Amino acid sequence: MATKLYPLGIQTFERIREEDKLYIDKTEYIYRMAHTNGKYFFLSRPRRFGKSLLISTFKNYFEGKRNLFKGLAIEKLEKEWTAYPVLHFDLSGGKHMEKDQLERYLGFILEMEEKKWGITQPQIDANNRLTELIYTAYEKTGKQVVVLIDEYDAPMLDVAHEQEQLDALRNIMRNFFSPLKFCEAKLRFVFLTGITKFSQVSIFSELNKIGRAHV
C-alpha cells in the first residue's frame, strides 16, 4: 500500500479525499451525532484541533456526497444518503473588528449564501436575513436545513477583557444566532465549533438543549 501524504494546511474534506491524502476516519462519530435525538451540537477545542475539517466533513455528508466517503466507516452505517440543504458560515474572518465592521462582515457571509438560494432582495437585519435563508432553503427543497458554524466566537476573542466592546459585539452575535431557536422546526442539524465555552461568552442562553460533541 502506497504511503499517503499528510494533508498539511488542508481543512477541506473534499480536497483530502479527492487528492487521496491521509485521513483519520472519524465518520462513525459523525453518523452517531447525525442520528441521535439531539439537534444542536457544539465542539469546543483549541486552535489547530481539526474543527474546520470536521465542519467540512459534516457539510459533504449532509449534502449526500457518498462517493467521498468510500471505504470509510460511515459508508456501511448510512443507508439513505439523503441530501439536505446546508448553510455554512465561517466566522474566522470576523476577527479584530469594531461593531460596524462586524455587521458588514456578517452581511458579506450571509450574501454568499443568499446568492446560492436566489435571494436577491434580502432583509435588512442579520437575524432576519438568516431566518429568510433557512425558510427559503426549506421551502425550495422540502427538507429541513443543516446549519454549520465554524469559530462562532472568533469576533469576540480579541476583546474578551474589554467589557464595553465585548458587550457590543456579543449583542450583534446574539442577534445573528437568534433564528437558530426561532426556526427549530425547519432545522435538521446545527453544529458549531469554537475555542471558548458558551458560558464564557453568554450568547446561546436560549439554546438550552445544546449537546457537546465528543470526537
For 43-64, the pLDDT digits (tens) are 887 666 778 999 999 999 999 9
Percent of the chain with pLDDT over 70: 88
Average pLDDT, stretch 162-170? 85
* Confidence class for position 205, pLDDT limits 50, 70, 90: low
Q: Which residue has the higher pLDDT, 196 or 20?
A: 20
Q: Residue 85: its pLDDT value, please?
A: 98
Check whether 159 has a pLDDT greater than 80.
no
Using one digit for the tens of pLDDT, what is the confidence trace for 95-114? Answer: 888 899 999 999 999 999 99
Fold type of domain 26-64+83-212:
Rossmann fold (3.40.50)
Q: Residue 187: its pLDDT value, please?
A: 97
- Range of weakest confidence among 1-15, 31-45, 74-88, 106-120: 1-15
Nearest to 187 by CA among 117, 91, 90, 84: 84
Residue 155 vs residues 94, 175, 189: alpha-carbon distances, Å: 5, 14, 23
Using one digit for the tens of pLDDT, what is the confidence trace for 130-144? Answer: 999 999 999 999 999
Task: Report the b/e string of 48-65 with b at 16+ CB within 10 A.
Answer: eebbbbbbbbbbbbbbee
Cell numbers for 8: 498539511
CB 180 within 8 A of CB 40: yes
Cell numbers for 37: 435525538
Average pLDDT, stretch 64-93? 96
Quick one: residue 142, left, alpha or beta (phi over 0 = left, psi -120 to 50 = alpha)? left
